[in-house]
Amino acid sequence: MTASTPGPTVLVLDGDPLLRLGRLTGRARIEHVDASTLAARLPYADVLLVWDVASRAVRDAWPGEGPRPRWVHIASAGVDHVLCPELAASGAVVTNARGVFERPVAEYVAALVLALAKDLPRTWDLQREREWRHREALRVAGTRACVVGSGPIGRTIARTLKALEVTTSIVGRVPRTGIHGPADLDRLMARADWVVAAAPLTEQTYGMFDARRFGVMQPSARFINVGRGQLVVEEALAEALRKRWIAGAALDVFRQEPLGPDSPLWQVPDLLVSPHMSGDTVGCQDELGAQFLALYERWAAGKPLLNVVDKNRGYVPGH
Amino acid sequence: MTASTPGPTVLVLDGDPLLRLGRLTGRARIEHVDASTLAARLPYADVLLVWDVASRAVRDAWPGEGPRPRWVHIASAGVDHVLCPELAASGAVVTNARGVFERPVAEYVAALVLALAKDLPRTWDLQREREWRHREALRVAGTRACVVGSGPIGRTIARTLKALEVTTSIVGRVPRTGIHGPADLDRLMARADWVVAAAPLTEQTYGMFDARRFGVMQPSARFINVGRGQLVVEEALAEALRKRWIAGAALDVFRQEPLGPDSPLWQVPDLLVSPHMSGDTVGCQDELGAQFLALYERWAAGKPLLNVVDKNRGYVPGH
């Protein structure tokens, strides 16, 4: 903290983006805070940059006393971990990292779809056992995917799967050109070989993938979640896999992260677990820093911000 | 064998395609043979259908005495296992399964590229250990691939990688529009993040991926072979991986198949092993049978065959 620096005060929560914010030196007071120091510093901040997607610190600290930052930037696509009712009701503008994660997440989904179709997990198990066992794999081209989530990530996933010749439908909150509404979800899930969850976590999407929905899927189908853990009733998914209602699943996000070593999810049959990394690629930290700086220039110049979250809906409304 | 059936005699080597050839019933004498009975029956056959890509039986039996079939159809893309000098010098027409394996092999290569970029093998190792360890993955879009082999399989691989926004070059025997010649190979390999071997096995391609060629690759690059095992000097690849000259490799084909349990290749660091299955998808046996029947109709009608192998070059010359 350099008290003599003029300009707005920017709180950086749980980040180490010193180098990346170097361009603000002398123009803003950059203060690094963590969950334990956030509440005390919030009243003195003009801007809050939330770096760690897993932190609940803003939800805890925001409802306190005193003035609040005018702008909160969240360096992730989902904003559910930050957007408490008091922040939603406040005058603060909330922005997110739209534009950074679309392509990586879409590639991750394509990687999972292809790995499952080609039975790669089993192949590498057999390699460990030094066993040559030829199988016939699935042809991905011509299969059907249902992508749930019509934001830029869901749409990029759909475009990427289509490039692999997968027949792909998108389901969103509101039907529009090229996007199905919730009324079509069960029918599309029942026909899909791949159901991909990429929706924001909202009241409407909480627990939407439950026993009934896994029940409408085909026994040969696979479920993939790269959205938020809370979209899924995890016990129902585990049960659907154990009972062979569906052929497999891959989860990159969980209700409780990190998944503890005692979680039963590590060993559910045909369930692939990855540690919330679908969007994170080498260089993305720099990209997130550059994105914040570009938004900061607009904010400092009094121009309208981009990637502005609709605080009632819980995501950036779009196209 | 039904001696009373009129029409040509079709030998089926190592296949169980009875159902699929049902349309020939009453029009041809279908005889099933294996490596032990092929030589004795060859002189009485008009057509030889070679079903098993791994069998060397034709190489052993063809050079014998007596007349030979006029047409040999090989139900695979590569023909090296069948095309002995005596068959090449004979009047027999040789055809292959062009058109069946392109898409599956391309999907398999895309699956490997994405799985390596997203570090999926490590993720699943960590799952087994119940360990949550977040890493940053690679973004595939914007990386560079060099596909060696300019036949329909190599070109379909290139098209599929391009659909994933990978900058992709193809190297073939002869430079032409969109295809680099062998003179560009080292330069392209040196710049590539992914080197994909999808060439036919010929005198020119035997052992082309040797210590020198792995030496020109980037330390961050990966090598993938879906062509033929003999394209690669396996000991040199293992050494390149152990010395970290390259970051990883995936082999679907091997000099000796099946790979025995004692092979050192199962445990080379950062080497993924799969049992020659890149082209084999559910339904492909039916597709291969249907393709032979379609060719048979042309042959029986005296029309020119399709997919005719240039027996000097060792592949179907093309576009």
Which residues have a Cβ under 8 Å from the Cβ of B271 and sit 6 or more positions away? B237, B238, B241, B248, B249, B250, B251, B265
Known active-site residue B276: yes
Nearest to B199 by CA among B312, B52, B77, B58: B77
**ipTM of the complex as predicted:** 0.95
User: What pLDDT sits at residue B20?
Assistant: 66
Catalytic residue selected from B276, B297, B313, B319: B276
Tens place of pLDDT for every residue, chain A, 319 residues? 445 667 999 999 988 755 568 788 889 999 999 999 999 999 999 999 999 877 899 999 999 999 999 999 999 999 999 999 999 999 999 999 999 999 999 999 999 999 999 999 999 999 999 999 999 999 999 999 999 999 999 999 999 999 999 999 999 999 999 999 999 999 999 999 999 999 999 999 999 999 999 999 999 999 999 999 999 999 999 999 999 999 999 999 999 999 999 999 999 999 999 999 999 999 999 999 999 999 999 999 999 999 999 999 999 997 5
Low-confidence ranges of chain B (pLDDT < 70): 1-5, 17-20, 319
Q: Which residues of B touch A263 (CB under 8 A)?
A: 130
Beta-strand pair B93-95/B167-171 = unpaired
- How far lies A236's CA from each of A110, A209, A222, A257, B66, in Å? 25, 8, 14, 18, 68
- How far lies A118's CA from each of A105, A122, A275, B155, in Å? 20, 9, 22, 20
Report yes or no: A178 and A154 within 8 Å, Cβ to Cβ: no
Known active-site residue B257: yes
Interatomic CA distance for residues B10 and A311, integer angstroms: 72
Interatomic CA distance for residues A169 and B51, integer angstroms: 39
Q: Name the residue ranges covered by the structural domains of chain A.
A: 9-100+283-300, 102-273
Question: Is B103 at the interface with chain A, CB within 8 A?
Answer: yes
User: What pLDDT sits at residue B1?
Assistant: 46
Q: Is B250 helix (H, G, I), strand (E, B) or coil?
A: strand
Cβ contact A259–B132 (<8 Å): yes
Interatomic CA distance for residues A58 and A54, integer angstroms: 11
Interatomic CA distance for residues B41 and B51, integer angstroms: 16
Q: Which residues of B touch A134 (CB under 8 A)?
A: 258, 275-277, 280
Could you give the residue numbers annotated as active site of A? 228, 257, 276
Give me B82's structure tokens: 């069948």
First to last CA, chain A: 41
Domain B9-100+283-300 identical in fold to domain B102-273: yes
Q: Searching chain A, which residue's CA lies closest to the CA of residue B123?
A: A274
Q: Give which of B120, B157, B288 to mutate to test A binding, by max A Cβ within 10 Å.
A: B120
Question: Is A103 at the interface with chain B, CB within 8 A?
Answer: yes
DSSP at B57:
H
Catalytic residue selected from B20, B155, B180, B228: B228
Of A114, A121, A257, the CB nearest to B114: A114
Ranges assigned E (strand) in A121-226:
144-148, 167-171, 194-197, 222-225
Q: Which residues of A touch B160 (CB under 8 A)?
A: 164
Question: Is B261 at the interface with chain A, CB within 8 A?
Answer: yes
Q: How many angstroms separate the CA of residue A11 from the nearest CA in chain B? A: 25
Return the amino acid letter for B288.
L
- How far lies B263's CA from each of A40, A124, A132, A203, B254, in Å? 63, 16, 11, 55, 11
> What are the residue ranges of helices labelled H in A3-119?
38-41, 57-61, 85-89, 102-117
User: What pLDDT sits at residue A319?
Assistant: 57
Report yes or no: A198 and A171 within 8 Å, Cβ to Cβ: no
Is the domain spanning A102-273 CATH 3.40.50.720? The answer is: yes
Return the amino acid letter for A315.
Y
Of B130, B141, B273, the CB nearest to A261: B130
Interatomic CA distance for residues A166 and A192, integer angstroms: 10
Is the domain spanning B9-100+283-300 CATH 3.40.190.10? The answer is: no
Return the amino acid letter for B52.
D
